Amino acid sequence: MSVSKPPPPPSTSHLAIPPSSASTPSSSASSPSATPHSIAPPPPSPVKISMQEHFAINVCPGPILPIPQISDFFPRFHDYPCTPPPPREKKILKEETFNGETGGGYKDGERRGENEGDREELIDSDDDDTYLGTLEFSLLFDQENNCLHCTIHKAKGLKAMDSNGLADPYVKLHLLPGASKANKLRTKTLKNTLNPVWNETLVYHGITAADMTTKTLRLCVCDMDRLGRNEFIGEVRVALKKLKEGESKRYNMGLERIAQNKETNNQTQEQGALVAEEERGRILVSLCYNTEKGCLLVGIIRCAHLAAMDSNGYSDPFVKIVLQPDMGKKSKYKTSVKKKTLNPEFNEEFSYEVSLDQLAKKTLEITVWDYDLGMSNDFIGGVELGINASGQRLRHWFECLKNKGKKVEYWHTLTQQGAPSSDKPD
């Protein structure tokens, strides 16, 4: 008994070839396996595509773009050179609606275009161009007492400087030109606020009308940092020549980041000749001749903007006064020492028993020194009042002799007058 083998199954492929219409009937008839119940060939199968192409076709109507991989941004992980992908374009934020209308509620097309340009600049702006806040303060110049009153009211909308989104702001004042610590004053520090209210008045003593024409007041807002260096937030500058005498002027100015350039430094150097004498400081002296007691009363009230003589940027000043020609120990006096200050306040008075006729022939020598423990004291500056003086020093002396019994006060600029020939004073 013989068993016939079934015919082998037809070969399958991705693309099924349809039977040729050109086949002859003789070939089919000659085949021994051709029967009416023969198996038909399978239908053609579709073309196979990847899953990425499948989703790209269904989602993106355009061309298929390669998906950037993390390795594209780190070429060192490639075995072959690879260029990083181009940066993606920044998306422009949609305009906010204002009063139910888009475009900020502006009906004018030009105004709207300017607003769009400003918005793009804000998106790409750096920290230096961001809003830093405003500072509100007022200034008053008292020419009679030679004082400049600076009242710091408040600040609003300061830039956050700490990790908690707040700041510890304070205001520092500085008279320009001049780099001495004597020209710097500062307010108290307020903790954890971006809208501080100080209402604090700082006073510059010894400011004359000539200073008001040449000086500029710089107000800096800083953030105090206990663990590191204090951070600068912004500053404003006011030319004092715009301030009228006896008039209190209120300011509300936006903070800026002003970089000092070479031109500013050159202007400061050009004014150095005029400021050279002022770098030593000034002293406020009062003179009064008491006719009843027959004596001259000399008052050492205060000093301002003294030169720094110590390494810490300050001095330990005291004042010596001598009535020349020397009358012995009765003609020499010395004030107390004020520690670590460039604006000392003494308010001490000394008396010289001398007749009015002899006083007209004498000279009062006033010198300011820096006290050094165990070392020779440093000379800061001096001034001489008498018949041989000139300018304001001579005017002060004449007014004292003319107005008997009246206290006359004058600010004097310290100079090299009275400087010793050696480092150690007499």
Distance of CA 189 to the CA centre of its chain: 16
Q: Are 202 and 127 in contact (CB under 8 A)?
A: no
Convert 267-294 to b/e letters by CB count within 10 Å (16 or more is b).
Answer: eeeeeeeeeeebbbbbbbbbbbbeeeee
Are 234 and 304 contained in the same domain?
no
Q: Which of 277, 312, 327 is the last residue of a domain?
A: 277
Are 370 and 273 contained in the same domain?
no
Are 245 and 328 contained in the same domain?
no
The pLDDT profile of the chain, 426 residues, written as one tens digit per residue, is: 444 445 555 544 444 445 444 444 444 444 444 445 567 777 777 767 777 666 655 555 556 566 666 666 665 554 555 555 555 554 444 444 344 444 444 444 444 444 444 443 333 344 445 789 999 999 999 988 889 999 999 999 999 988 888 999 999 999 888 756 778 899 999 999 999 999 999 999 989 888 899 999 999 999 998 887 889 999 999 999 988 888 899 999 999 987 544 444 444 444 444 444 447 889 999 999 999 989 999 999 999 989 888 888 889 999 999 998 876 777 899 999 999 999 999 999 999 998 988 888 899 999 999 999 888 899 999 999 998 899 999 999 999 999 999 999 999 999 988 787 654 444
pTM for the model stands at 0.58
Cis bond leading into 420, ω under 30°? no
Smallest CA-to-CA distance from 91 within 54, 124, 46, 128 is with 124
Are 175 and 292 contained in the same domain?
no
- Domain with 374, as residue range(s), is 282-413
User: CA-CA distance, 354 to 346, in Å (whole number)?
Assistant: 24
167 lies in some domain = yes
Task: Count the Cβ atoms, other than its own, within 10 Å of residue 400.
Answer: 23
176 lies in some domain = yes
CATH number at residue 295: 2.60.40.150
Alpha helices (H) along 125-281: 209-214, 262-270, 272-275
Alpha helices (H) along 198-246: 209-214
CA distances from 184 to 188, 220, 387, 401 (A): 13, 11, 36, 37
Number of structural domains, the chain?
Answer: 2
Structure tokens at 413: 């600029």
74 lies in some domain = no
**Residue 322: predicted pLDDT:** 93
Cis bond leading into 10, ω under 30°? no
**Residue 27: predicted pLDDT:** 44
Q: Which of 277, 301, 326 is the last residue of a domain?
A: 277
264 lies in some domain = yes
Are 237 and 322 contained in the same domain?
no
Q: Are 418 and 367 in contact (CB under 8 A)?
A: yes
287 lies in some domain = yes
Smallest CA-to-CA distance from 337 within 283, 281, 377 is with 377
User: CA-CA distance, 341 to 306, in Å (whole number)?
Assistant: 8
**Residue 208: predicted pLDDT:** 87
Greatest CA separation found in the chain? 168
336 lies in some domain = yes
**Residue 264: predicted pLDDT:** 46
**Residue 54: predicted pLDDT:** 65
**Residue 374: predicted pLDDT:** 80
25 lies in some domain = no
Are 148 and 261 contained in the same domain?
yes
Are 137 and 159 contained in the same domain?
yes
Structure tokens at 259: 């970089």
386 lies in some domain = yes
Q: Which of 239, 260, 277 is the last residue of a domain?
A: 277
Alpha helices (H) along 224-347: 262-270, 272-275
In this structure, are strands 345-353 and 408-413 parallel, antiparallel, or unpaired? unpaired
Are 386 and 296 contained in the same domain?
yes
CA end-to-end distance (rounded Å), the chain: 149
Are 199 and 316 contained in the same domain?
no
Contacts of 352 (CB under 8 A, 6+ apart): 295, 296, 298, 323, 330, 331
Are 215 and 301 contained in the same domain?
no
Phi and psi of 83, rounded to 5°? Answer: -90, 140
Three-state DSSP class for 24?
Answer: coil
Are 182 and 205 contained in the same domain?
yes
Are 293 and 224 contained in the same domain?
no
User: CA-CA distance, 4 to 385, in Å (whole number)?
Assistant: 145
Task: Count the Cβ atoms, other than its own, within 10 Å of residue 239.
Answer: 13
Alpha helices (H) along 179-261: 209-214
**Residue 158: predicted pLDDT:** 93
